[in-house]
Structure 1
Amino acid sequence: MLGIVGQGQFAQVYCAVYRRTGRLVAIKQVRHAKEKFSQEAAIHKRLDHPNIVKCHTASSQRLILDYSESGTLRSQLATTFSPLLTPGYLSFSIIKTIIADILQGLDYLHHHGIVHSDLKPENILLTRASPSRLVATISDFGCAHFLDQPNQSTTDIGSPFYAAPERFDGHSSIASDLYSVGVMLYELLVGDRPFSGTPQQLYQAHHAHSLSFPATLSASAQQLLLTALHKEPKHRFSSAIEMLSAFQALEFSSIKATVASSSNVATITFCQRPKPLTVDGITAPVDALIPLPQGCGIVSANSLHILTRKEKLISIARFRQSCWISVSPTGRWFVALPKTNKRKVRGMIGKLYQSGHKWSRAITPTGRLMTSLLSNLIQVIAIDARYFLQIRTAEEATRTYIECFTRRGQFIGELRINQTISQIVPTAMPYQLLALGTTSTDTPVALLINLKPFQVRTLYLPFTPLRIHPLAWGYLIVGSEKILLLDHTLQPVTWLKGLPNSRVIASLDNRRLLLANHATRPSLSVSDTSTLNLGLIF
């Protein structure tokens, strides 16, 4: 069990992995309403479609389902389509694939005599099939029913934001599901839902209020939405396939959603001159700065040092050859593996004490560990008190593998991301990584990767990033001319100007930044960020 993914009124959903196969699955565990859950299990047993979440095992209390690491459409709306970072419009190619997947899955449901009755972004799961392709699947059949067994409840209507007018009166049909898809399409194209308010206000709006559209939305897109969101079911699209055909006829150039630009993010100028520190014993460029309980680990290709909170530099270990080096978040141990294409080499596992490094054990890479070292390795990360990760890219560079090993070098398992990654670092949050990558169309993205449970959130960036730096209170995305500060949810806080050029940046504590650079020789400096007046952070 990797952790809980989400929970609702009647059930909890967990992320788990089959030990024998390494396959990720979602476990939906019912807490109440077992009779209703039995109906959901019965419906799942009838379904087999690529755009409907696959059920492997169903019982009266538990469902074993396919796992979707990219979360829900709702979580993607908060990051991928962040209105503060998009270039004035949402990617129609992404919208097109998501809506097409939903309608194809819905067509399959309707042909099998099933009405979903609760379509909303929270119930649309996303999986990244390739760097540029998100696959949408329909999930959560708790409100679903068979066409020959209509649901006439006026309380169990699903989300009122996405409910068709007749759903409030206890009626549901194929047309009701298409109305819900229309609301989601409106939200994707316009950037907001057509109606908002209390349940009573939503009742009035869905029944009587007309739609409003931004001037930038084409006439053809407006007409499609007017049909999908018609108050009378008989005047909507007659089927999911009919709606899909009308949607696919829209041209890319005719779609432009009105969202704010990145200029809405404030800019703060960094004026303070950092205080330089001594760098005795550091001879190679600093590759990483790792925040630790005792200070900050300073990693170069051939050495490991620790800068204490009192700004004292302690030498921990030196190596004869270039190594991948990482220190555990607890500051208790480190791993060093050689950067080499030779097979007969040794690495080191070392234990750390307050005064430095006093114990070590050689580790001889064999099997999977050796294979990873000889492949396209991009990072080694000590993730907790017992395990370290090796992150490598596939030869075709469209997939990234996160492989887990014990401190003795025993392979435990792997996670896969269908995304090109160029840089990846641990964050201040346990079992969380931050990465930079690109899509197949070379669009830069930032990836927030949670390992327990496994979830990947994607943020499309409006500029080309050079480096990423996780801090105690957010993330720095550094470009050639821009520096963007994000909070822990990937939402933009501010643009930074005047920050000294640095190879690596990390938090020494909640207010001080440690900066490492390498012009003609390594340099370290400390800067106090409390003068930046970042009220959202401190």
Structure 2
Amino acid sequence: MQRSKYRILGLVGQGQYGKVYCASDRQKGQLVALKELSHSATSTSQFLQELWYIISLQHPNIAACLGLEHIQNGRYLVMDYCEAGTLRGLIEGNQTLGLLEGLQIIVEVLQGLDYAHQRGIIHCDIKPENILLTIVAGKWQPKLSDFGIARRLPSHHDIGSPSHAPGGSPAYMAPERFYGMYSAQSDIYAMGVVLYELLVGDRPFHGLFNELMWAHMNHRVERPTFLPECLQNILQTSLEKLPARRFPSAGAMTESLKAAMADPSVQEIGDRLIPWYSPSQITTTGEATNSLDQDSNAIDSLEFYDLPYKLNNPPPSDSQPLLASNPTHLYSATGSNVITWSYTEQHSQSFTLSESVVSLYPMSHGCYILTNNYLHWWHNSSHQPDSQSLGFLQKIFKETDTTLKPTTLAISQDLVKSRFNSSLVGQADLLPECQRDYLTIAVPGQLRFYSLTKGLTNPDHSTENQGHSSIKLLKVISVSTQILPQLTFIDGRHLLATWSNTKPSSPKTIFQMYSRRGAPMGTIKLPINVNQVFATPHPYTILALCQHQPLTLLQINLKPLSVIRVAVASPPTALFMADWGYGWTIEPGKMQIFNWSGHRLVEYNCPVATALARWKQTGLALVPSTGYSIKVVDSLGLPLQELSEDIDV
């Protein structure tokens, strides 16, 4: 947008009257939502009406209007930016909410709605798509949005005039709304449909406009008998056909929900994931096919076989096994032992280093091996790793007079045509551009950026001079804290430095982006405590584990900012990623695989792993948590080519 104080970062949605963009204030850096109000779709009176409504409503659970941007090529409302999407995303997110957490979201929406009703404003278009989500203190906070067709009750009468045509979403409309009537009880009915869908996994009625109108007017909603009785009663009252028989106010419905949340029958199952049934378990008649028994989702067991290998020295009993892979090789390390397997030649090579291996960083033509004092380089054609030209790390360690942890070093990832991610056991990623790699090291109070220029890399040449012929310090940046950040190259050009507050009472994580040469590229702050960050095959997309919420994994898109939460049945023991999705193993002996929309594709029975990596193009390698061995399966049984074409992040 020209001559605007905001810089658009990306399209995040399509509203009823135009597009919605994520943008940043050019001076303050604050993220906002720009809601386009098209001249063709929105009259001036409609535009002024919605502007008046949202300016007059100031509540934590109502999306606030921060200003008006009226420039040559359009009109925009500047709104709160809600990075966690909509309630629709949570409902369709394959059960990422606990029961009590979901009820709390509805309670907060009702509180915002009650605030609007007390000021004589009826929303008239309540649905999951119009309930936005942001993160506050590590939890979802809902905000009611889109007052484009809201109505004001004349003189606080109970029922509005039927002079206007019905508008809104028929699947959520109260019976009287089809005749153009509206009241606070109309919004309560819509909230009842939203609550029903959140709990059950499906709306009570389906069909075209006339079919929905007939159903809302004449068909009673079946009580979901699998719910606690107190929740059944709330649904029944909110979905009464006659407005006078519903809750008298949104505040009254709020109090009933709070009482239900304190009921022992609800407290006992408060952590149960909702919706009760996933969309795939709902038939066309609206009936559930089966209950969500935890074992029923494991459709099969993966058949692994052992890779042959021989270790020169037995690994220490407390050593952490590592796995990593590229399109041609699998790399494994335990203690000071390193083993590589070639997919095509079906043989392994092994060697022993002088120190225990800390991390493996695979590239298309080899693998970096980090130990306590050295960064070694293994070329796919080599017989032994080269560490002489990279021994400069030992000098840097001594210069800084500090013990550098593995999480404070990152190398730019290898830009290959087919991105092939590692097992994520290390905290760095690799990618050379032509003959150059980029290295970043954190020390207390500083970030140091280096370039590593390659020597010979032709596998037909001798390995004597293969490695890096020159090492150059590009930039030193001073940072205001002595706390070491986690460094992650999220692609071949951008480094992410992550600082997380360790206090559970005031969670906060700062994501600072840099170019590979050290130029600052922007800052994002989230009120969550991130424990680990993993780069993914998709630009600007990371996975993050939360420090004080071990059953939560976040998929964070940094440009434009969006957060998807994936529920974890138990803390992951190891992770892997691919172009089409990611997966992990959990106790007791299961593997869950997700696509990049956060939907679970499949669940397998398999050994619990301490390390995972891709094997060949369609398989998986793992190190079991019991004993040390390398097990592989050649295919995960998924249509990977189709998945890769369908997913667009």
Which of the residues 417, 439, 444 maps onto 1:336? 439
Contact 1:268 1:495 in 2 (8 A): no
Question: What secondary structure does 1:349 align onto?
Answer: strand
Q: Distance in 2 between matches of 1:434 and 1:227?
A: 41
Query: For residue 470 of structure 1, what is the aligned residue in structure 2?
Result: 577
Question: What secondary structure does 1:465 align onto?
Answer: coil
Q: Aligned runs of 1:352-371 on 2, under 5 Å?
A: 355=457, 357=468, 360-368=471-479, 371=480
Contact 1:286 1:516 in 2 (8 A): no
Contact 1:512 1:526 in 2 (8 A): no
Q: Distance in 1 between matches of 2:265 and 2:240?
A: 22
Which of the residues 618, 628, 634 maps onto 1:529? 634
Question: Do residues 348 (structure 1) and 471 (structure 2) align?
Answer: no
Which of the residues 33, 37, 41 maps onto 1:33? 41
Q: Distance in 1 between matches of 2:134 and 2:88?
A: 13
Contact 1:286 1:298 in 2 (8 A): no
Q: Aligned runs of 1:264-283 on 2, under 5 Å?
A: 264-265=296-297, 266-274=299-307, 276=341, 277-278=348-349
Amino acid at match of 2:146: D
Query: For residue 336 of structure 2, what is the aligned residue in structure 1?
Result: none
Query: For residue 359 of structure 2, what is the aligned residue in structure 1?
Result: 287
Contact 2:612 2:620 in 1 (8 A): no
Q: Point out the more displaced range, 17-26 or 118-127.
A: 17-26
Q: CA deviation at 1:54?
A: 1.1
Q: CA deviation at 1:533?
A: 2.5
Deviations 1:468-506 (A, max 9, x none): 222232212233543322222222233344569453524
Q: Distance in 2 between matches of 1:518 and 1:361?
A: 41
Q: CA deviation at 1:121?
A: 0.8
Q: Aligned runs of 1:115-514 on 2, under 5 Å?
A: 115-131=122-138, 133-148=139-154, 152-154=163-165, 157-250=167-260, 251-255=262-266, 258-259=276-277, 260-265=292-297, 266-274=299-307, 276=341, 277-278=348-349, 284-285=356-357, 287-289=359-361, 294=364, 298=368, 300-301=370-371, 302-303=374-375, 305=377, 318=390, 319-320=393-394, 321=397, 322=404, 324-328=409-413, 330=415, 331=431, 332=433, 334-338=437-441, 340-341=443-444, 346-350=448-452, 355=457, 357=468, 360-368=471-479, 371=480, 374-377=482-485, 379-396=486-503, 398-439=507-548, 442-480=549-587, 481-498=589-606, 501=609, 503-506=611-614, 510-511=617-618, 513=620
Q: CA deviation at 1:416?
A: 2.0
TM-score (norm 2): 0.71
Question: What secondary structure does 1:366 align onto?
Answer: strand
Q: Distance in 2 between matches of 1:115 and 1:393?
A: 41
Question: What secondary structure does 1:459 align onto?
Answer: strand
Q: Point out the more displaced range, 407-416 or 168-177.
A: 407-416
TM-score (norm 1): 0.84
Relative to structure 1, is the Cα distance of residues 204 and 382 closer, same or farther in structure 2, using a 3 angstrom cutoff?
same
Q: Distance in 2 between matches of 1:248 and 1:71?
A: 25
Contact 2:443 2:484 in 1 (8 A): no
Deviations 1:290-311 (A, max 9, x none): 5x6x367545354264776x99
Q: CA deviation at 1:24?
A: 1.1
% of aligned pairs identical? Answer: 29
Q: Distance in 1 between matches of 2:516 and 2:296?
A: 47
Q: CA deviation at 1:146?
A: 2.0
Q: CA deviation at 1:49?
A: 1.2
Contact 2:449 2:518 in 1 (8 A): no
Question: What secondary structure does 2:305 align onto?
Answer: coil
Query: For residue 60 of structure 2, what is the aligned residue in structure 1?
Result: 50
Q: Distance in 2 between matches of 1:44 and 1:206?
A: 29
Tell me the matched-pair count: 515
Q: Distance in 2 between matches of 1:10 and 1:312?
A: 64
Amino acid at match of 1:50: P
Q: Distance in 2 between matches of 1:241 and 1:529?
A: 57
Contact 1:160 1:199 in 2 (8 A): yes
Q: Distance in 1 between matches of 2:533 and 2:597?
A: 17
Contact 1:438 1:444 in 2 (8 A): no
Q: Distance in 1 between matches of 2:303 and 2:556?
A: 29
Q: Which runs of 5+ in 2 are unaligned?
A: 1-7, 155-159, 278-291, 309-340, 342-347, 398-403, 416-430, 458-466, 643-649
Q: Point out the more displaced range, 332-341 or 56-65.
A: 332-341
Q: Which runs of 5+ in 1 are unaligned?
A: none
Query: For residue 93 of structure 1, what is the aligned residue in structure 2?
Result: 100
Q: Distance in 2 between matches of 1:408 and 1:186?
A: 52
Question: What secondary structure does 1:97 align onto?
Answer: helix
Contact 1:299 1:326 in 2 (8 A): no
Q: Distance in 1 between matches of 2:623 and 2:476?
A: 31
Q: Distance in 2 between matches of 1:295 and 1:328?
A: 12
Question: What secondary structure does 1:207 align onto?
Answer: helix
Amino acid at match of 2:483: S
Query: Greater relative contact order: 1 or 2 (C-alpha under 8 angstroms, separation 6 or more)?
Result: 1
Cα RMSD of the aligned pairs, angstroms, is 3.4
Q: Distance in 1 between matches of 2:560 and 2:178?
A: 36
Relative to structure 1, is the Cα distance of residues 464 and 395 closer, same or farther in structure 2, using a 3 angstrom cutoff?
closer
